Every structure is written in structure tokens, then in C-alpha cells.
């Protein structure tokens, strides 16, 4: 009669994960009980492993189980380009595309004065330091196309251009497969503003 059973405890843990409601948490917990023991142990171990073995790369601040990360260590990457992103998931998104061969820099946030996030609260200084030896010729700012992402891009441009690097911004416009009719007006405006001759 300790009040909380191991099953309740597991349901609560699952329920605490983002996007996992009470019902899904219950379904997952019962599924774990149905798994064979080795499989359940392996799931638990994967959680511990990920947490223990993954840290931040000392160069680009992406998550990695090696330091520097595999991308920073690679001899096949173009060291003259850095793609700046908000979070590690964004590196994964660009890598999935398979045709970007430069390096990355993960800011771990965006400038957001309203939320009290200034340049010193994200990995901005570390980005500037990487430009010191002159290897990097271009910085592609791939923060999200929203107010904070744009502000961060503007700030980066103002700060980095004087250092002699080209600062570029990812294009905004209609997503491939998108629909003019369904697109919001800001996106349509951007798509027209950024039109190019064909």
C-alpha cells in the first residue's frame, strides 16, 4: 500500500514526455509490460546511454557522442562554410537533405529580447571565435523564418560582415508541394518578393 505502483510510476513518466497524453502513456506502459524483458532493458539502457554518452561538440555545439563531433572532425566537409542553426534538430534536418557539405554552428536558442534572451545567452561569441583564423568565407544563417529567427539573422549579419565573411540567409517562400491558396499572406509576400527570373 505504498500508494504508487510501478505501473503508475511508469505511466506518469511517459505522461511527462511532450505530446504524450494520459491515454497514450497508459498504452505505452502496458506495452512495456508486454515486451520481453531483454527488450525493455534495452529501451531503458538506450535512454541512459543517450544521456550519458551524448554531449556538445566543443566546436559547433551540436549534440554528439564524440568531441569534436563527426562533422567537425571530417576531412570531407567544406570548412569554408558554416550553417548557423537554432537547435541540434535543425542540423539533423539539413543533414537529411544530403547535399550540404559545410560545417554547422548550433546557437541553442535565438535572440528574444522579450524573453530576456540576448547574444550572451546563446552560442554567439563561440561563433565569432570560429571566424578568427579566416578559414570561414560564408556563414549561412538558417534560423527559423519568424520574428526572432529574422532578428537573430540581422544581428549576425551586422556583427559578422565587418569580419570579412559573407553572411547569407536561407530563402523564405512557399514550401514545395504547397498551395498558394492555403499559404498565409506573409509567406506569399515573401515568395513574390524573392521571385527569380526563369
The answer to the question of residue 45 lying near a copy of itself (CB under 8 A) is: yes
For residue 140, give the C-alpha cell. Answer: 549561412
Cβ count near 63 (within 10 Å): 16
The answer to the question of residue 41 lying near a copy of itself (CB under 8 A) is: yes
For residue 65, give the C-alpha cell. Answer: 557522442
- CA–CA gap between residue 155 and residue 75 (Å, rounded): 31
- CA–CA gap between residue 170 and residue 153 (Å, rounded): 10
Residues 80 to 139 in contact with a copy of itself, rule: CB under 8 A: 87-89, 92
List 21, 22, 67, 70, residue binding a copy of itself (CB under 8 A) = 70
The answer to the question of residue 170 lying near a copy of itself (CB under 8 A) is: no
Q: Do 130 and 109 meet the contact criterion of CB atoms below 8 Å apart?
A: no
The answer to the question of residue 50 lying near a copy of itself (CB under 8 A) is: yes
For residue 33, give the C-alpha cell. Answer: 509490460
The answer to the question of residue 21 lying near a copy of itself (CB under 8 A) is: no
| 53/161 with CB nearer a copy of itself | 53
- CA–CA gap between residue 145 and residue 147 (Å, rounded): 7
**Residue 109's closest CA among 131, 96, 134, 126?**
126
Total residues binding a copy of itself (CB under 8 A): 46
The answer to the question of residue 192 lying near a copy of itself (CB under 8 A) is: no
The answer to the question of residue 196 lying near a copy of itself (CB under 8 A) is: no
Greatest distance between any 2 Cα atoms in the chain:
74
List 22, 46, 78, 171, residue binding a copy of itself (CB under 8 A) = 46
List of residues contacting a copy of itself (CB under 8 A): 1, 5-7, 9-10, 12-13, 17-20, 24, 26-33, 35, 37, 40-54, 63-65, 70, 87-89, 92
Amino acid at each position: 500500500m505504498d500508494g504508487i505502483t510501478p505501473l503508475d510510476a511508469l505511466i506518469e513518466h511517459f505522461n511527462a514526455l511532450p505530446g504524450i497524453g494520459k491515454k497514450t502513456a497508459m498504452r505505452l506502459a502496458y506495452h512495456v509490460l508486454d515486451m520481453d524483458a531483454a527488450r525493455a532493458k534495452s529501451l531503458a539502457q538506450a535512454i541512459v546511454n543517450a544521456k550519458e554518452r551524448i554531449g556538445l561538440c566543443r566546436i559547433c555545439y551540436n549534440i554528439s557522442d564524440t568531441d569534436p563531433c563527426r562533422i567537425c572532425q571530417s576531412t570531407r566537409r567544406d570548412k569554408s562554410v558554416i550553417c548557423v542553426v537554432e537547435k541540434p534538430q535543425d542540423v539533423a534536418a539539413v543533414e537529411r537533405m544530403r547535399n550540404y557539405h559545410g560545417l554547422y554552428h548550433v546557437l541553442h536558442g535565438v535572440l528574444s529580447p522579450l524573453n530576456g534572451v540576448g547574444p550572451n545567452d546563446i552560442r554567439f561569441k563561440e561563433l565569432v571565435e570560429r571566424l578568427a583564423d579566416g578559414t570561414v568565407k560564408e556563414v549561412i544563417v538558417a534560423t527559423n523564418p519568424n520574428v526572432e529567427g529574422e532578428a537573430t539573422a540581422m544581428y549576425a549579419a551586422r556583427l559578422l560582415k565587418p569580419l570579412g565573411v559573407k553572411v547569407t540567409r536561407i530563402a523564405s517562400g512557399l514550401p514545395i508541394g504547397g498551395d498558394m491558396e492555403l499559404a498565409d499572406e506573409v509567406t506569399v509576400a515573401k515568395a513574390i518578393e524573392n521571385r527569380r527570373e526563369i
